[in-house]
Amino acid sequence: MCGIIAFTGNRAAAPILIAGLRRLEYRGYDSSGIALHSRNKIQIHRAAGKLSQLEKKLPAKVAGKSGMGHTRWATHGEATDENAHPHLSTEGNIAIIHNGIIENANALRKALEASGVIFSSQTDSEVLAHLIAATPAETLLESVRQALLQVQGTYGLVVMDAERPGELVAARNGSPVIVGIGEKEMFITSDANAILSHTREVVHLDDGELVSMDQKSFQLSTLDAASATRESITITHDAGSLELEGYRHYLLKEMFEQPKSVERTLRGRLDHRFSTARLGGLNLTARELLDIRRIKILGCGTAYYAAMCGANCIEQLARLPSSAEPAAEFRYRNPLIEPDTLYIVVSQSGETFDTLAAVREIRRKGGRVLGINNVVGSTIAREVDGGVYMHAGPEVSVASTKAFSSMLTSFMLLALQLGRIHDVSPQYGTVLVEALERCPEKIAEALEQDAPIAAMAKKYCVAKSMFYIGRTDAFPIALEGALKLKEISYIHAEAYPASELKHGPLALIDPDTPTIVLLPDNDLLDKSISSLQEIKARKGPVIAVTNSDSPEIVELSDDVIRFPACHQFLHPLVMGISLQLFAYHCAVTMGRDVDQPRNLAKSVTVE
C-alpha cells in the first residue's frame, strides 16, 4: 500500500528519498513522486508506473537537503503523473504526501473550489494541500492542526512549506507514521524498513498525534494541541535481510529462509523442564489462562488461514472450543464479546485495517485480545493486551510465506502452552517439545524438493483452473496453497475440504483440471485416498502431496510431491512449504512478477 519517506538534514535529500522509496516498493504501488525544498521553493517530480519511470524524469542534479517521497497505490483517480503524490497548493507553497482516505474530500473540494482553488488531480489527498494553505497560522504545525480538525478519514500525512526550509510536519490517524532519529538528521516514514540504513532509533506516532521537526529535534503533540512524549525504540532486525542476497526473487529467498525464521520464532520459547512452551508477552497468568473457556482467532487472507490452523491446533491440544473468522466479517456483524473468551488477532504487518478494527471493536466491548505479529511496534502490536512477536524478519514479497510458517509455529507454541495447562501430560508434552525443535530441519527437508516441484509446475501451469483438497488440519493448508497460486500465477484455484468434493465441485473435475490432494500420513489417510479414487474415476489429473509410503497413492496419482515424515503436529506447517514451492514455480514459468503481483499490496491499511 502507499509508502511515505521524508528527510531533513545536511545531506542531499533526493538519493535518500529514492533509496527509501525503493525499500517501500514491496508494499505495492502504481506511481511515485518526490518533493525537494530548495531556495525557498518546493520542486516536485512525479511519474506513473515503476520507480524507474520517476528516476528517468529526474534532472541530473536535484538540489535540496529536505524533502519527501511517496509511492501511491491508486484509490481515488487512476495511476497517472497528475494523481501521483506529492500534491501542491495552488501557490506552490504547501506540499503534502498522504496515505489513507479522506472521507469528506468531496465536500471539502467543493468548498475550496467555491473560494477559487483549482484542483489539478482527481485524488482525495489534494484537498489537504489546499486546505492547509487556506488555513494560515503562526506555525506550519498549527496550520496543519487547524486544517485536520476539518477532515474526516484516515491519514498518514507529511507536509512541507516553501517558506520554512528544513521543517517537516506529519500527522497520523489510522495510517502509520514513524519518526526516525539520526545524527543531526531526521526521517519520517510509514514503514521503518525504508530508513533502517540510516537509523534504528524510532518513535511511532499514535492516532490523533502530530509531529513537527527540523534536522535537530522533533516535538510530538495531539490534535487537541496538548504536548505528547514517547520513548524511542531501537529496531534490531538486520537491514541486510532486505537485500536479495543472490536470490532471483524475494519470494524465493523468503521461502528458503524458513528454517531460520521458524527457528527464531521458537528461540527461547521451549521449556524442557516442564515439557511446555513459554510465551513471555501474553501478559496473562497461568490462572488467567486456565479461566479461558473459548478461543476466537481473527485475521485476513493468509493470516486468516493461519488462524484456522491455529484454532485446530489449540482445540486438539488444549481441548478448548476454538474457531477462526475473517477479521472484517467479525467486526461488521456486531459480535458478542464474552469475558471468558480469549480473542487473538494474527497479522504479519500489524497494520491491516480490518484486523485493527476488530481489535478496537473487541476492546471497546471490554474483551481481552492478544496479537501474533511480525512487525515490532506496529499499530496492532501496540493496541493489543499482549501477544507474541514472530521474529520472522522482514517479509518483502507481497505474497506471504515465511510469515505464514511463523504464524503456524506461534500457534503451535501457544497450543502447547495451553495444552499443558489443561490435559496434555508431561510425557506427551516432551514429545511435542522435541517435535517442535525439529521444525527447522523438517522445513529444510521439504525445501529439498524444489527441483522436482519446479519440473511438475512446468507441466501443470498450463491449466486454467486447479483444485486443492485436504481434510481437517490439511484444509486450511489447501486454502493457503490455492491462495498462493492465485496471487502469484493468476491461475484460478479453489480449495475444498476433501469430503465436500462429492457434494458439488466434482462436477468440474475433467482431464484439464488438476487437483492437488493433501495426504498427510495420519489416521484419515484411507479416507483421503478414497478422494483420489473419486477424482481418477472422472479422469482428473492428480498431484498427491504426501509423506506416506502407501503404494496406492503412487498408483492413483499422476505426480507425487513428497514432504518429510514428521510428528503429525507439524504436518500443516511442513506440507505448506511444498505448496509454496509449487505456486512459485508455476508463477516463474509463466513469467509473472512474483514479488509484486498485479492489483495487490503488501499491507492493506484501508477498508
Q: Catalytic: which of 402, 442, 484, 602?
A: 602
CB of 3 to ligand AGP, least distance (A): 15
Q: Cα separation of 537 and 542, whole Å?
A: 11
Four-CA torsion 40, 188, 352, 571, nearest 10 degrees:
140
Among the listed ranges 134-142, 229-237, 383-391, 398-406, the one in contact with ligand AGP (CB under 6 A) is: 398-406
Least Cα distance to 248 among 591, 579, 600 occurs for: 591
Q: Rule CB under 6 A: say whether 302 interacts with ligand AGP.
A: yes
Rounded distance between C-alpha atoms, residue 75 and residue 95, angstroms: 20
Residue 64 Cβ vs ligand AGP, minimum distance, rounded to whole Å: 34
Q: Quick one: cell of 602?
A: 503488501
Residue 300 or residue 447: which is nearer to ligand AGP going by CB?
300
Q: H or E stretch including 194? A: none
Q: Are 66 and 40 in contact (CB under 8 A)?
A: no
Q: Is 355 a residue that touches ligand AGP (CB under 6 A)?
A: yes
* 193 near ligand AGP, rule: CB under 6 A: no
Determine which residue in the list 141, 255, 398, 456 makes contact with ligand AGP, applying CB under 6 A. 398
Contact 383, 370 (CB under 8 A): no
Which residue in the block uniquely carries the three cell numbers 504479519? 348
Q: Is 347 in the site for ligand AGP (CB under 6 A)?
A: yes
Report whether 22 contacts 72 (CB < 8 A): no
Which is it for the CA torsion 124, 129, 133, 137, positive or negative? positive
For ligand AGP, which is the closer residue by CB, 27 or 172?
27
- CA–CA separation, 50 vs 54, rounded Å? 7
Which CB, 275 or 397, lies closer to ligand AGP? 397
Span from 84-92, 348-356, 450-458, 492-500 in contact with ligand AGP (CB under 6 A): 348-356
Rule CB under 6 A: choose which of 43, 143, 212, 603 binds ligand AGP. Answer: 603
To 5 degrees, how large is the angle CA 98–CA 213–CA 242? Answer: 60
**Does 473 interact with ligand AGP (rule: CB under 6 A)?**
no
Residues 77-106 that bind ligand AGP (CB under 6 A): none
**Dist CA 213 CA 307 (whole Å):** 41
Which listed residue (89, 341, 352, 531) binds ligand AGP by CB under 6 A? 352
Shortest spacing between CB 111 and ligand AGP, in angstroms: 36
For 409: left if phi > 0, alpha if psi spans -120 to 50, otherwise beta; the answer is alpha
Is 313 catalytic? The answer is no
Task: Kindly state the cell numbers that stand for 397.
Answer: 514479497
Binding region for ligand AGP (CB under 6 A) out of 53-61, 189-197, 341-349, 469-477: 341-349
Interatomic CA distance for residues 502 and 499, integer angstroms: 7
Among 415, 479, 535, 604, binds ligand AGP (CB under 6 A): 604
Binding part of the chain for ligand AGP, among 59-67, 264-272, 392-400, 547-555 by CB under 6 A, reads 392-400
Min dist CB 487 to ligand AGP, Å, is: 6
Find the shortest distance in angstroms from Cβ 437 to ligand AGP.
26
Q: Does 561 bind ligand AGP (CB under 6 A)?
A: no
Residue 491 within binding range of ligand AGP, rule CB under 6 A: no
- Residue 348 interacting with ligand AGP (CB under 6 A): yes
The active-site residue, picked from 2, 300, 461, 586, is 2
* Residue of closest CB approach to ligand AGP: 301
Interface residue with ligand AGP among 143, 154, 241, 400 (CB under 6 A) is: 400
CA dist 277 and 410 (Å) reads 10
How is residue 107 written as a grid cell? 465536500
Q: How many CA atoms lie within 13 A of 350 on its CB side?
A: 27
Alpha helix segments (H runs only) across 518-570: 525-537, 551-556
Q: Is 260 a catalytic residue?
A: no
Count, residues in the chain = 607
CA–centroid distance for 557 within its chain = 35
Nearer to ligand AGP, 212 or 302 (CB): 302
Find out whether 605 and 28 touch, Cβ atoms under 8 Å: no
- Is 303 among the residues that bind ligand AGP (CB under 6 A)? yes
Tell me the CB-side half-sphere exposure of residue 450, using CA atoms within 13 A: 11
C-beta of 112 vs 408, nearer to ligand AGP: 408
Positions that interact with ligand AGP (CB under 6 A): 300-303, 347-349, 352, 355, 398-400, 487, 600, 603-604
Active site members: 2, 602
